[in-house]
Structure 1
């Protein structure tokens, strides 16, 4: 497979690593890789099956936009991390959730990971509909005591707080403060005019060994994990097919419905941490550090394994110890990963068209990331 695009002097090793993955036994039919050093784009690569301008479903990498909007509003004084969610959104106080703070919600400690009855596909595309259903939902653990990944609903929950506090949707704030000023190719609500550039997500093609592993590890639809992934809903469908729905793309739900390119994701994090086009960084250092600081660490009750979160963002320095401790970003189920590393001065984004095994951060990211850190010296 042919690698296309450009790298700056000193980043040739990144291109070699990208090429080695694409031409190896585990080659991926359609991937993009972009790196910014500060505000300068120094890596812009893609493989056969996509172009640099192709738009892909990025699943939970979408959450980075939701958390960045929230961080900006906290920075502006429009949101207070230590106020209760119910003080902004009174209906949320139902079923013992009245003392949950915005900080706890962002740290995945609220316990409202899904609905007892599940969400329809139509509801799952619409953050306001998700929030309306979740307001009366009982939590699945004592809020604040444990944490678990609110995989498909955190964007709706945080977005409802934003709407109740400001009278404007999270999507409106994202478009006005982040996407439009920088012309970012990452959308919460893909306009019809951009549809020709969208490429459908391809389903996972596991090897026989991987298929057996998946079958052995299958979750009960009624487990904590199953409820968080909406597996118990009658018309749930395959998660890998989520962005292939025009309704999902148009509404751009803020947990997993974003559509974009590696250029768009990397540009968003570069703008947040370093500034682009001569502008100052969107986040002040103290704000970025607070949102990156680990707030939840240990056993994730949804994932059933050790994990770590800042305020919404994944604690990237815990997942990849060769990154800076205050790195912040998010991955997506199809294998995408995007983040900023303020200490080492770079922003990174990787996207892929085919759903990754076993879902989540695609394993090739570690090899690619190490090559970037080596190039940075």
Structure 2
């Protein structure tokens, strides 16, 4: 049975609907997903498919959450509240333990701190609480000399940034995000989901790999104390499953800034649209100099955690380099382990958001994003 495609596209974006429909037709019958895009602050794509899914259904978006955290940091840098080249200890004196005293905020945000986890690992309750994670990390010896290399801080970067924000402003990162970004634009992208909105949440579902995909996984070197296992907290005795994090009400309620956000595609795309464009009469959140700063590549090359080529702007993933080279230079955003993708292409005025319910193999931006992003970009370029 062919899934019905819901929603609308603007004139000139009909090919995006066709591409989305073609993808959905080839998926499992239980597929659920949403796709949204803005061009120069105008919503041009708003589509969804799946039994029971609605335009405002909410999904755990894992590390796409980091995009919201990085936008908070960018705003505070723009305000002058934070200074990128100050030492982290200027804001957070206790951070200097175990040889971390010389690290700058710029390097911290750019995955260069070496604080990917802790030797003993975190409990699930700690991973739901940024304050608890930050307190443990302050005493941790870095896993490489800070500032000399980079590696993906999957579960810790939001907590590290959050503690700096709290020390500098007296408010949590989540509070600043709510006041300055989410609430003013009415975004369906939450760092802390109110109990009253729980009925809109769609629990994340795992996807078992095929035999071919499992063979790929088995070919990757594994070990209980590798940088990757520490970064993803799988070196603990009972690490649990990936979906457990997003499906925890405690995590959704507290909204840890590394991977605890809940969003609809509308919320993801809307946030990036607000960052670079006038939306509903409001000026862009970021000034041109700030947009250039966050999109400028800060860390590129061999990622010590991912063990492959990666690139990051000021915290944000360098989306064009990482996945879609046809996008404009300086494109910035963040994907999530369940398959979500979101970004802003400032040169094209494009903002994009995608969510899905069932986790995609092998994690990170789901493979279908390549064809969907290309379709949106082509339509936007021709409009």
TM-score range, shorter chain: over 0.9
Contact 1:92/1:98 (<8 A) preserved: yes
Gaps of 5+ in 1: none
**Residue in 2 that maps onto 1:322:** 326
Residue number among 10, 17, 22 corresponding to 2:19 in the alignment: 17
Query: Cα distance 1:53–1:161, how it changes in 2: closer, same or farther (>3 A)?
Result: same
Alpha-carbon offset, residue 240 of structure 1: 2.3
Q: SS where residue 269 of structure 2 aligns?
A: helix
Residue number among 105, 117, 142 corresponding to 2:145 in the alignment: 142
Q: SS where residue 109 of structure 1 aligns?
A: coil
Deviations, residues 308-353 of structure 1 (Å, cap 9, x unaligned): 0011000012121100111110000001000110101110000000
Aligned equivalents of 1:214, 1:256: Cα separation in 2: 23
What are the residue-to-residue correspondences of 1:1-377 with 2, within 5 Å? Answer: 1-24=3-26, 29-49=31-51, 50-217=53-220, 219-319=222-322, 320-376=324-380, 377=382
Q: SS where residue 269 of structure 1 aligns?
A: helix
Gaps of 5+ in 2: none
Query: Cα distance 1:216–1:271, how it changes in 2: closer, same or farther (>3 A)?
Result: same
* TM-score, structure 1 normalization: 0.98
**Higher mean displacement: 235-244 or 358-367:** 235-244
Deviations, residues 68-113 of structure 1 (Å, cap 9, x unaligned): 0000000000000000111110111001000000000011001010
Contact 1:21/1:27 (<8 A) preserved: no
Q: SS where residue 372 of structure 1 aligns?
A: helix
Alpha-carbon offset, residue 211 of structure 1: 2.0
Alpha-carbon offset, residue 143 of structure 1: 0.7
Aligned equivalents of 1:25, 1:246: Cα separation in 2: 29
Aligned equivalents of 1:122, 1:217: Cα separation in 2: 29
Alpha-carbon offset, residue 28 of structure 1: 6.7
Contact 2:30/2:50 (<8 A) preserved: no
Give the aligned CA root-mean-square deviation in angstroms. 1.1
Aligned equivalents of 2:238, 2:178: Cα separation in 1: 31
Aligned equivalents of 2:233, 2:149: Cα separation in 1: 20
Contact 1:34/1:349 (<8 A) preserved: yes
Q: SS where residue 257 of structure 1 aligns?
A: coil
Q: SS where residue 108 of structure 1 aligns?
A: coil
Query: Cα distance 1:216–1:347, how it changes in 2: closer, same or farther (>3 A)?
Result: same
Aligned equivalents of 1:315, 1:341: Cα separation in 2: 10
Contact 1:116/1:227 (<8 A) preserved: yes
Contact 1:57/1:243 (<8 A) preserved: yes
Alpha-carbon offset, residue 26 of structure 1: 6.4
Aligned equivalents of 1:189, 1:108: Cα separation in 2: 24
Contact 2:181/2:271 (<8 A) preserved: yes
Alpha-carbon offset, residue 374 of structure 1: 1.1
